[in-house]
Amino acid sequence: PSESFTQSDTCVLLFFCSVDGGELFDRITDEKYHLTELDVVLFTKHICEGVHYLHQHYILHLDLKPENILCVNQMGHQIKIIDFGLARRYKPREKLKVNFGTPEFLAPEVVNYEFVSFPTDMWSVGVITYMLLSGLSPFLGETDAETMNFIVNCSWDFDADTFKGLSEEAKDFVSRLLVKEKSCRMSATQCLKHEWLNHLPAKASGANVRLRSQLLLQKYMAQSKWKFYQDVKDWWLFGFYFCMPLVCTAIFYTLLTCEMLNRRNGSLRIALSEHLK
């Protein structure tokens, strides 16, 4: 919007709204938070509204994941989608392929390096919704290669224990998004019209049961952070062992050069003193 910025002859000023609710998953895994299916409905609806806005303006986010969804505050269900570093402006006549993203949330067409479009984002919405409902990551494997193999084969199901007690509407919503053929996935507009995201007053009366997904998401978050720290450590060790020989070699040749210069200067001083005699 035009009111989001102003400019003068020398600078451009950008105005940002305050978002202090933290990451979505961090908020709902707080022990004080009572997560219900109605909460998931409201969060998912706002996510779909955000994606719908992006797609209306022909923008593909291409990196939708829990870390990129922030809560506006600690009370309501409003969210903000952030991190558009991998986003692309979509031009239907220009075929777009990408080979980046976070493995767990990649759509099959990204893994296969095929053309991407609006349904690519909707796949990620499906993964996030599945996780909100169950606390499980539907395609997560032991390795990135295994994860991407699950994605390519669209190998997932509704875990009997974690989805017990959840509505059939919720399962139907997810089933219409985690579809390998991207043309068969619901659009953001269709999601907002889906039965699961509507008739909220009627849902409010019977949706007070705390979801088991909250505890499972706590474990998922802990494992994700541990994996992140391990990856950082591995990269640090790799850099240390890879760079240390280069650093030592550089220091050796620097000292050798200094020694040679000192000897040459010493020889010059001796020769000069003998010449002056």
187 within some domain: yes
Q: Examine the pLDDT at 266 and tell me if it is beyond 50.
A: yes
Least reliable range by pLDDT among 35-44, 125-134, 233-242, 257-266: 233-242
So what's the pLDDT on residue 207? 65
Query: What's the CATH number where 53 sits?
Result: 1.10.510.10
What number is the average pLDDT over the span 173-200? 97
Percent share of the chain, pLDDT over 70: 83
Residues 6+ apart with CB under 8 A from 200: 38, 41, 42
So what's the pLDDT on residue 31? 83
12 within some domain: no
Backbone φ and ψ of 81, nearest 5°: -90, 130
So what's the pLDDT on residue 2? 46
So what's the pLDDT on residue 265? 59
Q: Which residue has the higher pLDDT, 20 or 58?
A: 58
What number is the average pLDDT over the span 204-220? 83
Residues 6+ apart with CB under 8 A from 193: none
216 within some domain: no
Which tens digit of pLDDT belongs to each residue from 248-260?
777 867 877 776 7
225 within some domain: no
Of the pLDDT bands very low, low, confident and very high (cuts 50, 70, 90), residue 263 is low
**C-beta contacts of 76-84 below 8 A and 24+ residues apart:** 77/39, 77/42, 77/43, 77/46, 78/46, 79/24, 79/43, 79/46, 79/47, 79/50, 80/17, 80/19, 80/50, 81/47, 81/50, 81/51, 81/54, 84/59
Give catalytic status of residue 83 as yes or no. no
Domain residues for 37? 19-211
Domain count, the chain: 1
241 within some domain: no
Q: Which of 63, 83, 157, 172 is catalytic?
A: 63
